[in-house]
Amino acid sequence: MQLFLGPYQVGNSLYPLALDLFIPTIFFFFFGSAYRVGRYLMTYKKPFVAVPIASQEVVRGKISSIERVKSLVDTFSNSSKVGLKRKPVTTTAGLLMHLGLVVMIFLLAQHMVFWAYYLPPYRVLFPLAIPESSTDGLLSLTMSTFPRTPTPYPFVHDIWGPLTVILNGQYISFLLLVLLGIYLGHKFHAFADGLSLRAGDWWFFLLLYVDIVLGLLATSHIPNNVVWYDNLLGGHILLAEIIIATLPFTRGFHMFEFYLGKIREWYFMLYRRGEK
């Protein structure tokens, strides 16, 4: 099959096509992100309460560096504190899901090799890599007990130690599937109660769920066939690229707008009293 980037036997393997689409995916992501951030900055509205300039200067003069850092931490944690009180189950699931995604995307050994291919300085984080499965984690531990025997997993046992038996891609994938199931179940329940949901709310989480399943099947070699492996791995990467390219226009982009909004909130509340 002839595509615009070159000839690909799509029916036999999606893997080379997925690799060649990575750079265009990053371009679309940054283009969409620039649009979203620009729109946010131009349309951001903050209520203003008049405060005498002299009073503001006095207040600013009494703020220490420690208080600034404490205020920044409080600003970011306030929403989680409120969420844990009002919706403890979904908030806890959401926090664990975000943590699991960060670890999976940026610290899974296979993913780190992928990132380092495009960003060579990323190699400095290799000592933090987690193995693909619990079996790999166990092998890295047992083989590292013999100093003269080179281990095939040189960058997993030094930092995490025995944690690699549970801190690995396989177990984190299972955890993410459960947490995403809870989150999607909450969405279905809200929809059944008549709450209107945007398409982006469904798009991001459903694609993410399927993508995790594809990655888990590929790394587990299910089914154990080379052609199936190439297609599953290629499909996993392609689906991830679709998620990345469309992220600025879906619910998932809140992970960036949230931090941007919190930094602005902290700045206006701390340095410009009377504005929020």
Residues of the chain under the 50 pLDDT cut: 1-4, 10-11, 48-59, 145-157, 274-276
Q: How high is the pLDDT of residue 10?
A: 47
- DSSP for residue 159: T
Burial of 123 (0-12, 13-18, 19+ CB in 10 A): middle
Q: How high is the pLDDT of residue 238?
A: 93
* Single-letter code of the amino acid located at 225: N
C-alpha distance from residue 137 to each of 19, 99, 107, 142, 152 (Å): 28, 20, 14, 9, 11
3-class secondary structure, 7: strand
Q: How high is the pLDDT of residue 265?
A: 72
> Could you tell me which residues are beta bridge partners of residue 6?
3
13-16: long-range contacts, CB 8 A cutoff, minimum separation 24 = 13/227, 13/230, 13/231, 13/234, 14/230, 14/231, 14/233, 14/234, 14/235, 14/237, 14/238, 15/230, 15/231, 15/233, 15/234, 15/237, 16/234
pLDDT digits (tens, 9 = 90+) for 112-152: 998 998 899 999 998 888 988 877 777 766 665 444 444 44
pLDDT digits (tens, 9 = 90+) for 223-232: 888 778 888 9
Residue 135: HSE in the Cβ half-sphere, 13 Å Cα cutoff: 2
Mean per-residue pLDDT over the chain, rounded? 76
